[in-house]
Structure 1
Amino acid sequence: MAQDTAVPKLSFQYWLDKAVEWGHTTTLESQQDVCLHLPKLQEFLQQIYESLKHMNSTTAIQRFPLIGQLLGRLCWNPFVVGYDESQKTLMWCLCCLYSNEPQNPVELKANSWILSLLYHLLSSSSWGANEVGTGTFISALGYTSADYYSKLVKNIVSSLVTELKGNQFNGLNIQGRVSDDHVTVVSLFCVPLITLPDVTPLLEALLTYHGGGSQEVLSSEFLEAVNETFLKKKIALSESAILSLWLRHLPSLEKATLHLFERLISTQTSSLEHVVSIIKDSFLPQAACHPAIFKIVDEIFKNALLETGGTPEVMTIIQMFTWCFVQAHQKDNKQHKFPLKAYFPHHQQHLVIALLKHPFDLPATLWSQHLKYITDMLKAIIEDKSIRSYADLFESWFLFVRFGEWADIAVEQLLKSEDESSDTFLWLLAFYYSPHNDKEKRTQIVVILASNTTSEVFDLLIRTAYRFNQLGLKNQRAVKLVNELLQELRFTD
């Protein structure tokens, strides 16, 4: 891998020897030697960071066993810290080594050591104090260095948050708006510190801050880093902060949606409860209650449906996401929230309203009638050649896929029906599984879904089992039959 060869061991050992040498002497010659090597050292540190950012803390220690010794010595060398971007690069490297979920006392101790170094570097920056005799002053106050720097960081964060929010200070209301350039600098300053718990209030204040102009005031590096760290579950942010992030930075929203989609595709599960848990945990269904976010997420799912040709796995993901979104919308108690049908403005609203009605909301005796109502409306749209186009056909199909639970109900009704209503269910299922075919070919398609439908049947049974669980059904014969069939299909697979 590229990152394994980016930092040769010989080069690492060379700089470690140099760091040891510089730390043991304070002669003029030693200081001159440090200054002479600083440009090359900065290049080396950047290489180290490029390697570390692809690893977790455990892998990093395995790859570079002496990395802590090297970084620790460099952090306390004032010539190194004061040069160009070295301080920032050192902070980035240390954050890569920080373990967000320490598993043992060694990792806990390492985290404490890393925090103390970060606090030291912060105190050496323009944000903190950098005066001669600081160490003596700290000792006189009775603080350890770690305690002092921790409190310093908290004070810096608190001061910046107050500045951004324009809070009252000493009884006076601070009316002067912070300059956009200053906010940009602050956001860049936060990039290497995103995972530090003490910095979280500042992250949220930045994400919910908007400048006076139309231009984005937060750096793209900051927005991308926050999103990446959030997706990896390394930080916890408020819903309002995440919503603001995705509204102000489209690439982050797109990446979050693709991240969820890829995670669901790669998750081998026969439990829709697990799928629903992953979807809700992403916060995307809740965020999609904002129409602008819904539109983007919906477009990504639409493209996924096009590119995959409507595989059962993708159709199930879209269906379950829509279900989670509808649930989130119903729980949203905002006074001026949009009606659900407003999220589907390009469709016949009668069809949208019919599909939005959940099977649970109707007596089972009315399901057949409701399916016929849905089918009649779809037929009118699809078979009207005067207005039909491929786009119209796809949009109608995509709408039906979103609410694919009605297709599952159609299967159940088809198995029970003994009259002409079976034609309705057959047409609806043929359209669900093969929308691009003409009316005459749909019957043939159904006969072919009969001969090679293991994947479709498996997904259907999973969704049926999920619906039974939602209804609290456990002992009925149908529930036992569904579970037996699922077990048999798993064994066959």
Structure 2
Amino acid sequence: MAQDSVGFSSDYQFWMQKLSVWDQASTLETQQDTCLHLPQFQEFLRQMYEVLKEMDSNTIIERFPTIGQLLAKTCWNPFILAFDESQKILIWCLCCLINKEPQNSEESKLNSWTRGLLSHILSAFRFDTKEVGLFTQGLEFTPADYYPGLLKNMVLSLVSELRENHLNGFNTQRRIVPEKIRLLSRICIPLVTLPDIEPLVEALLTYHGHEPQEVLCPEFFDAVNEAFLLKKISLPESAVVCLWLRHLPSLEKATLHLFEKLISSARNFLRRIECFLKDSLLPEAACHPAIFRVVDETFRYALLETNGAPEVIAAIQVFTGCFVEALEKKNKQLKFTFKTYFPYGSPSLVVVLLQHPKEIPQELWHQPLKHISEMLREIVEDQTHRSHGGPFECWFLFIHFGGWADIAAEQLVMSEAEPPEALLWLLAFSYSPCDGSLQRAQTMAEVKAVLIRLKKLLGSPSLSAKDLQAAAAESRDRDPRPPLCQQLIRRLLLNFLLWIPRAHVIAREVLTLLAPTDELTHEMTGFLDQTLYRWDHLRMEATRPRKLARELLSELCPAGTAV
């Protein structure tokens, strides 16, 4: 390029004078002269970029002290910017002026001034309509039609160049310098919510060069993520996945944003939670193991912070259901093994838990329940299996598929045989995973005793609410039941009310006795909502229990019942 520098310097002076004339006059003759010389001026811009890209910003200012004036006059000339090719070359020329590591206030000031011009180019619709009135009238265009078209064409040009650069990444003759892409992402920050800018935002998010470090600036990721979470921008799933994979803070913020929605009201029904989850795109994005692990760890932290709150457990189960559904839709042969998603769990246990109950005849549900219980018990109580984590890790894996515990409770209530130890152990573990063997055995004994007393009532000529309350009451000669054990027995009693036809007539009275406080009413509401949600997903034929559950739920929570 050295041999052309002399010719370029003379051209530089010529075009500097031309721009001054064009800038000072806005007559029809001046506009015609601008349009007449545009092809030559575009060629000059190309030559200038070839010269500037070989220098650092300080050298450019020393060599061409008036370069700022020339570029500013060009940027503010609407006839020049009417061509997207001019816009693109101008952007690269301005990027050459930016100092990556400004050493003083003057260099920082120049950077700020240059970015201002770049932002102006990308918001070309703000041009002064008076300056191009004759031009647009001659073409029979209104400004409302014309200026957005300029922006759209410029965006499409940049998108095309990014994609071409992506496909020809190792062709050094055509590659875009990483710093230019980084600066382009910075320019887009204040404009990400503009609909016409969305294709460029998507192209930047899905652009993958061959650089070892991230080329897009963090502030760009923050701005796009914020706009997406607030529904100010619409992006395809592929672009959102790229955003969250490339910028961990954005993924963490998206997960916390979801949690804020889940806890924003006193009572969120599971169908509403499912809508929140699917709307967030997190279950679909979680099909990538790296994203799943981050979301799942957030759930784990929330579980520990809330001491196993039922609402958090329910949200985990709904998320897992949406995630598995998305995974099956995307790849029925499963691109990643489930060990990748659940690295701390026993692979064989994960496979068993993944069996959907609706794919198994109801009369055979006791078989997978027994298998799950035996596998969990072996891992939890046998020290030789500690490689799969302690009780909490096993429980955390199990509650992802917690519908099995609810089915176990129903099976215990409906079965006429003596309560199987495997199901008793599974329920005791699901409600209090960190208990020792002795304490868990006491819980199992309490549950078994209550179940036996409830079944004895079925043989009595009459059944009253007081009878059921007495059957579930604590024995006076024993220590008070732990809170979690009391909660488990309340769940069994509610199942008894739903599944035993004789109990339907006294269900409301029993519910009044069970829920004397707001806290217990909240617990009953959660159980009924969760039960109806599970029955719907299992497509269970339970007409009378379903009808009763809906009626009870409506009475407990008349406002916002969504079943």
* TM-score, with length taken from structure 2: 0.61
CA deviation vs aligned residue, 1:289-312 (integer Å, no higher than 9, x gap): 111111111111111111111100
State how many pairs are aligned.
378
Say whether residues 1:207 and 2:205 are aligned partners: yes
* CA–CA distance in structure 2, aligned partners of residues 468 and 138 of structure 1: 64
**Residues 473 and 361 of structure 1: CA distance in aligned 2, closer, same or farther (over 3 Å):** closer
CA deviation vs aligned residue, 1:193-237 (integer Å, no higher than 9, x gap): 111111111111100112221111111111111011001111111
**Structure 2 residues without counterparts, runs of 5 or longer:** 1-109, 444-480, 491-513, 515-519
* Seq. identity, %: 51
Pick one of 317, 320, 335 that aligns with 2:318.
320
What is the Cα deviation at residue 137 of structure 1? Answer: 3.3
Pick one of 287, 303, 316 that aligns with 2:285.
287
Which structure has the bigger radius of gyration? Answer: 2
Residue of structure 2 equivalent to 1:256 = 254
**Residues 458 and 83 of structure 1: CA distance in aligned 2, closer, same or farther (over 3 Å):** same
**Residues 241 and 175 of structure 1: CA distance in aligned 2, closer, same or farther (over 3 Å):** farther
What is the Cα deviation at residue 387 of structure 1? Answer: 5.4
Pick one of 458, 464, 470 that aligns with 2:531.
464
What is the Cα deviation at residue 484 of structure 1? Answer: 2.7
What is the Cα deviation at residue 277 of structure 1? Answer: 1.6
What is the Cα deviation at residue 420 of structure 1? Answer: 3.7
Q: Is the 8 A contact 2:123 2:151 kept in 1?
A: no
* CA–CA distance in structure 2, aligned partners of residues 336 and 381 of structure 1: 26
Residue of structure 2 equivalent to 1:424 = 422
Q: Is the 8 A contact 2:346 2:388 kept in 1?
A: no
Say whether residues 1:277 and 2:344 are aligned partners: no
Pick one of 397, 408, 411 that aligns with 1:410.
408
Residue of structure 1 equivalent to 2:83 = none
Say whether residues 1:147 and 2:145 are aligned partners: yes
**Residues 390 and 352 of structure 1: CA distance in aligned 2, closer, same or farther (over 3 Å):** closer
Pick one of 533, 545, 561 that aligns with 1:478.
545
What is the Cα deviation at residue 433 of structure 1? Answer: 1.8
Residue of structure 1 equivalent to 2:161 = 163
Q: Which amino acid aligns with 2:404?
A: W
Q: Is the 8 A contact 2:270 2:314 kept in 1?
A: no
Residue of structure 1 equivalent to 2:214 = 216
Residue of structure 1 equivalent to 2:175 = 177
Q: Is the 8 A contact 2:284 2:323 kept in 1?
A: yes
Say whether residues 1:489 and 2:556 are aligned partners: yes
SS in 1 for 2:233: coil
* TM-score, with length taken from structure 1: 0.69
* CA–CA distance in structure 2, aligned partners of residues 133 and 462 of structure 1: 64
**Residues 175 and 331 of structure 1: CA distance in aligned 2, closer, same or farther (over 3 Å):** farther
* CA–CA distance in structure 1, aligned partners of residues 407 and 160 of structure 2: 55
Say whether residues 1:246 and 2:244 are aligned partners: yes
* CA–CA distance in structure 1, aligned partners of residues 119 and 323 of structure 2: 39
**Residues 472 and 396 of structure 1: CA distance in aligned 2, closer, same or farther (over 3 Å):** closer
Q: Is the 8 A contact 1:312 1:455 kept in 2?
A: no
Residue of structure 2 equivalent to 1:397 = 395
What is the Cα deviation at residue 400 of structure 1? Answer: 0.7
What is the Cα deviation at residue 181 of structure 1? Answer: 1.0
Q: Where do residues 31-42 of structure 1 align in structure 2 (5 Å cutoff)?
A: none
**Residues 262 and 478 of structure 1: CA distance in aligned 2, closer, same or farther (over 3 Å):** same
Residue of structure 2 equivalent to 1:448 = 486
CA deviation vs aligned residue, 1:366-425 (integer Å, no higher than 9, x gap): 112221111111111111245559952211010011111111111111211343434333
Q: Which amino acid aligns with 2:145?
A: D
What is the Cα deviation at residue 431 of structure 1? Answer: 1.5
**Residues 188 and 135 of structure 1: CA distance in aligned 2, closer, same or farther (over 3 Å):** farther
* CA–CA distance in structure 2, aligned partners of residues 154 and 265 of structure 1: 40
Output the aligned Cα RMSD. Answer: 3.4
